[in-house]
Amino acid sequence: CPPTLCADVYMDLEYRKQWDSYVKELYETNIGGKIVVYWEVKYPFPMYNRDYVYVRGRRDMDLNGRTVHVILAKSISVPEIPEKHGIIRVSNYRQSLLIESDGKNGCKVSMFYYDNPGGLIPSWLINWVAQSGVPNFLSDILKACKKYPKKT
């Protein structure tokens, strides 16, 4: 997947609702001049879903003649999006994503990700995310890139 296409797919929240099976609810809204994202993530039964409220930004940078796409996100608290009953709010979330060319027709992705999901997370779920969740997500986003309707 070319790096610009990967970054476009990652930033397109409307499209993400189609390909990411863990999305329960996802939208952007303008609050006080800031674009704020609300994202509810489906968790397996009997656990409670989690939701995130965050700001994010994308910068396409030229580093020594190569384009690097940088996406930063961090949680924010806004009274306009209150917590919902039965959903655990993830109030401490940060993500830094760098997408660049692999020198061929694909891309390399580097990510720093941190969140405190709250509650008690069973060890089997933590192990699944570490072993399968991230590779499955990368596979899903690659499939989404191939089917992206807004290819340039």
> According to the model, what pLDDT value does residue 146 have?
94
Domain ranges for the chain: 3-147
Most confident of 13-17, 102-106, 134-138: 13-17
pLDDT at 11 over 90: yes
Cα–Cα separations (whole angstroms), residue 145 to 3, 12, 23, 69, 73: 10, 11, 17, 16, 21
Alpha helices, DSSP H, located in 12-152: 13-19, 123-128, 134-147
Question: How far is residue 63's CA from residue 82's CA, in Å, rounded to a whole number?
Answer: 40
> What stretches of 82-133 show up as alpha helix (H) in DSSP?
123-128
Question: Which pLDDT score, from 0 to 100, does residue 152 have?
Answer: 57
Q: Kindly state which CATH superfamily the domain 3-147 is placed in.
A: START domain (3.30.530.20)
Tokens of 81: 């999006």
The per-residue pLDDT for range 25-80, each reduced to its tens digit, is 999 999 999 999 999 999 877 788 999 999 999 999 998 888 999 999 999 999 99
